[in-house]
């Protein structure tokens, strides 16, 4: 998007774009794939069809960044220099941050729309009732609403497939509210009430035992949801029975060594997520590994000719494609201004816009 808009505004800019992938995936539709209302194949397009014409597409994987010398090195060992660098490599799934998760992911009754939405549908389709657990990690995640969207769709599906009356739907989250924006949280709590969903707050997922089908949590009110905006704020006066639950169900959690286990018959989760390793180990990273940029200008905090955006950037907003749409014109304006007058374009700044279409059932959503 940045490359296309730069070229449109100034066709003389010489652009090299590193992208090793052959396919581009429209990830927001994976929520619908998981609920069988969208075809996975249709979420993919050939990369060549989305590449702007007139750029130099370098089909290589960047492995090293040396911003002090304006240099980028690829896995193939090729070196490139630049006048300006835009960094937007997304984030990586980091299942290794939860014990047992690398072995459990996308197998049997453990599924995730983040990694294999076709498997999610297999799990929902074959679910015969019991405990349906939906959960998310303490790290930042992309599309903070996605772990809930599939839960509302799944609940709707369970009604249709006739297993809802023998199913307990649980949402276990590290946060203290269902959504960080009050009017949206209010609507979602109505959805939760209507669907009779059991919410469990302050839950930090620490282990998945795939064999015994138990998700282990540490519980603590000081657990942070990794800066994920969706899980912040207060409880809007809602009473949480047993202090950490809403819509309390008889506490079936297994207590062992100070941890609480939830026995599940199916589990959907957002795996922990982290900055790509080549970013985290580079001089561009902050202490959390993300690209350190100014919130408003998206300019790197140390290297003036470097800009960062998208999921990889350290920004205090929810990581979404919608947010990127508002970030791109800021980066483009600033680079063009720097080329022409060596300073930033003060007329544009990123104001933190993000958006989330929270699907609440088949054919229903709240647009946050």
Ligand X SMILES: Cc1cc2nc3c(=O)[nH]c(=O)nc-3n(C[C@H](O)[C@H](O)[C@H](O)COP(=O)(O)OP(=O)(O)OC[C@H]3O[C@@H](n4cnc5c(N)ncnc54)[C@H](O)[C@@H]3O)c2cc1C
- Annotated active-site positions, please? 143, 356
185 binds ligand X (CB under 6 A): no
320 binds ligand X (CB under 6 A): yes
357 binds ligand X (CB under 6 A): yes
CA angle 75, 80, 83 (to 5 degrees): 140
88 binds ligand X (CB under 6 A): yes
> 3-class SS at 363?
coil
Return the residue of 324, 331, 335, 366 that touches ligand X, per CB under 6 A: 324
What tokens appear for 324 in the block? 């990127």
Residue count, binding to ligand X (CB under 6 A): 30
- Number of helices (H), then strands (E), belonging to the chain: the values are 9, 23
Q: How far is CA 180 from CA 145, 190, 235, 363, in A?
A: 11, 15, 10, 24
Which one, 202 or 319, has the nearer CB to ligand X? 319
Beta bridge partners of 218: 204
Tell me the H-state helices in the chain: 2-9, 30-34, 47-50, 101-104, 117-126, 146-161, 182-195, 277-280, 321-341
What tokens appear for 183 in the block? 């009017």
Query: Residues with Cβ < 8 Å from 323, sequence gap 6 or more?
Result: 315, 317, 353, 354, 355
Taken in order 116, 121, 126, 132, is the CA torsion positive or negative?
positive
CA torsion angle 66 71 74 80 (round to 10): 180
Which one, 124 or 244, has the nearer CB to ligand X? 124
349 binds ligand X (CB under 6 A): no
Return the residue of 21, 250, 257, 367 that touches ligand X, per CB under 6 A: 21
Which one, 247 or 327, has the nearer CB to ligand X? 327
62 binds ligand X (CB under 6 A): yes
Report in angstroms how near the CB of residue 124 gets to ligand X at its nearest: 15
268 binds ligand X (CB under 6 A): no
Return the residue of 51, 71, 90, 365 that touches ligand X, per CB under 6 A: 90
Beta bridge partners of 366: 358
Contact by Cβ (8 Å): 110, 241: no
Report in angstroms how near the CB of residue 328 gets to ligand X at its nearest: 10
Query: Residues with Cβ < 8 Å from 222, sequence gap 6 or more?
Result: none
Which one, 75 or 182, has the nearer CB to ligand X? 75
276 binds ligand X (CB under 6 A): yes
Which one, 219 or 231, has the nearer CB to ligand X? 231
CA pair distance 105, 197, nearest whole angstrom: 24
134 binds ligand X (CB under 6 A): no
CA pair distance 167, 157, nearest whole angstrom: 12
- Window 217-256: residues binding ligand X (CB under 6 A): none
User: What is the DSSP-derived secondary structure letter of residue 185?
Assistant: H
52 binds ligand X (CB under 6 A): no
Report in angstroms how near the CB of residue 208 gets to ligand X at its nearest: 19
Return the residue of 278, 290, 307, 350 that touches ligand X, per CB under 6 A: 278
20 binds ligand X (CB under 6 A): yes
Report in angstroms how near the CB of residue 146 gets to ligand X at its nearest: 4
Return the residue of 4, 5, 15, 18 that touches ligand X, per CB under 6 A: 18
Q: With contacts defined by CB under 6 A, name the span among 86-94, 174-182, 248-256, 337-345 that binds ligand X.
A: 86-94
- Window 110-129: residues binding ligand X (CB under 6 A): 113-114
Phi and psi at residue 255, to the nearest 5°: -100, 130
User: What is the DSSP-derived secondary structure letter of residue 301?
Assistant: S
143 binds ligand X (CB under 6 A): yes
61 binds ligand X (CB under 6 A): yes
CA pair distance 155, 195, nearest whole angstrom: 7
89 binds ligand X (CB under 6 A): yes
94 binds ligand X (CB under 6 A): no
| Distance between first and last Cα of the chain | 23
Q: Which residues bind ligand X (CB under 6 A)?
A: 18-21, 27-28, 30-31, 61-62, 88-90, 113-114, 142-143, 146, 276, 278, 310-312, 319-322, 324, 356-357
């Amino acid at each position: 998007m940045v490359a296309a808009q730069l070229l449109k505004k100034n066709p003389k800019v010489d652009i090299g774009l590193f992208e090793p992938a052959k396919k581009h995936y429209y990830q927001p539709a994976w929520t619908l794939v998981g609920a069988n209302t969208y075809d996975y194949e249709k979420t993919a397009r050939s990369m060549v069809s989305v590449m702007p014409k007139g750029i130099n597409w370098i089909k290589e994987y960047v492995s090293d960044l040396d911003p002090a010398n304006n240099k980028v090195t690829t896995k193939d060992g090729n070196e490139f220099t630049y006048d300006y660098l835009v960094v937007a490599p997304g984030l990586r799934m980091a299942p290794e941050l939860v014990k047992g998760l690398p072995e459990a992911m996308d197998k049997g009754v453990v599924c995730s729309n983040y990694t294999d939405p076709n498997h999610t549908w297999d799990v929902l389709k074959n679910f015969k009732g019991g405990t349906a657990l939906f959960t998310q990690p303490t790290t930042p995640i992309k599309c903070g609403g996605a772990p809930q969207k599939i839960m509302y769709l799944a609940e709707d599906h369970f009604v249709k497939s006739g297993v809802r009356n023998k199913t307990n739907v649980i949402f276990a989250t590290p946060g203290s509210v269902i959504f960080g924006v009050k009017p949206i949280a209010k609507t979602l709590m109505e959805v939760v009430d209507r669907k009779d969903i059991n919410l469990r707050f302050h839950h930090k997922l620490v282990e998945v035992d795939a064999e015994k089908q138990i998700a282990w949590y540490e519980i603590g009110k000081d657990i942070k949801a990794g800066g994920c905006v969706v899980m912040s704020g207060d409880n809007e006066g809602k009473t949480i029975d047993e202090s950490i639950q809403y819509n309390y169900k008889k506490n079936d959690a297994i207590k062992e060594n100070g941890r609480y286990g939830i026995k599940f018959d199916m589990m959907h989760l957002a795996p922990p997520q982290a900055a790509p390793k080549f970013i985290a180990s580079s001089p561009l990273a902050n202490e959390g590994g993300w690209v350190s940029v100014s919130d408003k200008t998206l300019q790197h905090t140390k290297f003036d000719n470097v800009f960062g955006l998208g999921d990889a950037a350290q920004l205090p907003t929810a990581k979404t494609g919608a947010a990127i749409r508002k970030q791109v014109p800021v980066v483009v304006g600033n680079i063009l201004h720097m080329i022409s007058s060596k300073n930033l374009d003060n007329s544009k700044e990123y104001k933190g816009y993000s958006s989330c279409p929270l699907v609440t059932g088949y054919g229903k959503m709240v647009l946050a």
